Amino acid sequence: MTSLRPRSVYLDHAATTPMLPAAIEAMAAHLGRTGNASSLHGAGRAARRTVEESRETIAAALGAQPSEVVFTSGGTEADNLALKGLWWARLTEDPRRRRILLSGIEHHAVLDPAVWLGQHEGAEIEWLPVDELGRIRPDDVRRAIESAPETVSFVTVMMANNEVGTLQPIEEIAALAAEYGIPVHTDAVQAIGQVPVDFAALGVDALTVSAHKLGGPYGVGALVVHKETKLTPVQHGGGQERDVRSGTLDAPAIAGFAVAAEHSIADQPLESVRLTGLRDQLIKGVLETVDGAHLSGDPVGRLPGNAHLSFSGCEGDSLLLLLDARGIEVSTGSACNAGVAEPSHVLLAMGYDDQRARGSLRFTLGHTSSQADIDAVLENIGPVVERAQSAGLQNVGRNS
C-alpha cells in the first residue's frame, strides 16, 4: 500500500542535520577496519593515524592546534567535561573560586551540570541577565565579575542559542574575563558551519563542538581546550586524550567528523548567504500570512538558518503535529526536551509569558534545505495555524 504522506520537508537541522555524503563515505571506509588506536601493532597504528590526521583536520578548520582538540562522545559530554573540569581545577588552585557565571538561555547540557555542581559541590550559580531578544550584554558580565573577581570560577556563554538563534558577543566576553584571569567556555555546537568560528581569535579557553550538528555522525564531538587551560578529568580509565578524557577512540566516527567539519566550515561563507536568503523569505512569508505571528530572537544578530516564530492562540505541539501530518518536520525547541509539557526555559528567560512560550515553532535550515521547502511551509502554515487556533478555542469552551 502506498503511503499518502507527501515528500518530507526537513527543517529541524538544529536538532540534527543529515550526514554529508563525503562524511558517510569517510566513515564507511573505516568501519570494516580493525584496530584500537591505543594498540602498538600495525592495526592499532593505522587507527591512530586516522585519529591524528582527523584531529589535525578539525583543528585547522576551527583555528586551533591539534593538541587542543579532545575527542568526546558528543556535545553533552564536552560541556560536562568543560564545566566540571574547570570547576575542580580552579577550586584546587583557590578554594574561594566558587562562582559560576552563566545565562538562563544555555542548553541543558550546560545548565544541568552547573546546577549539579551547585547542588553537590557547593558552587554558587550566578545567572547573567538576557534581554527580550536573547542577548547577553558584556557590561552585565563585567559587573558580575567585578563584584568579586577572586571568587569567580569561570564564565560559560553559548555562542549561538539553539532555540531562537541569537548570536552572543563571545570574543568581547572572553577579552574582559581575561583581564581578571578568568576562563571562558562557549558551547559553539549551533554556530559551527553557520557562522565563522576561530578558536584562537575568540580568545576562549574551551569550546564545545558536536559532529552531528554539522553533517557528521552521531556519538562523537570534541572539547577544544586551550593548551594552557587546566582541566580536571571527569572520566578515568586508559588515559587517552592527554589523560583528560579516557576511553577507546571511535576512529570511524572521528574520520566522518573530520570530513564533515572540513566541508561544512569551508562551505560556510557561501552557505550562510544561501540560508539567510531562504530564512528571510520564510520569516517574511509567515509574518505576512499569519495574523498574530511574531519573530523571536535578534532579527539581525542571528544564525542564518534559524527562524523562531510564535503564534497567538496556539500550542506549539499542536502546530508541530499538524505540520508533520503534512510532511513538514520542525520543532518547538530543543530536541532534548521534546515531549516535556513545559514552556521553553529560553523564552521564559527572555521575558515571554507562558502562552507565547508554549505557542512557538523553530524552523532551522541546513545544507539540504531548498526553495521548495520554504514554499511548502508558506503554503501550509496558514491553514495549520487556523486549525490549531480553532482546536484551542474548543478546548477553552469545554473547560469553561
Active site residues: 336
Three cell numbers, residue 377: 511551509
Annotate 70-116 with DSSP letters as a single string.
EEESSHHHHHHHHHHHHHHHHHHH-TT--EEEEETTS-HHHHHHHHH
For 219, the grid coordinates are 556519538
CA-CA distance, 105 to 132, in Å (whole number)?
A: 11
Could you count the other beta carbons within 10 Å of the beta carbon of residue 236? Answer: 10
What lies within 8 Å, CB to CB, of 120 at 6+ separation is none
What residues are paired with 294 via a beta bridge? 310
Q: What is the DSSP string of 125-187?
A: EEEEP--TTSPPPHHHHHHHHHTSGGGEEEEE--SB-TTT-BB--HHHHHHHHHTTT--EEEE
Give burial (CB, 10 Å; 0-12/13-18/19+) of 301.
middle
| Nearest-angstrom CA–CA distance, 384 and 109 | 32
Is 92 within 8 Å of 86 (Cβ atoms)?
A: no
What is the rounded distance in angstroms from the CA atom of residue 136 to the CA atom of residue 129? 6
Amino acid identity, position 151: T
Nearest to 174 by CA among 140, 203, 209: 203
**What single-letter DSSP state applies at residue 335?**
G
Phi first, then psi: give them for residue 206, nearest 5 degrees: -150, 145
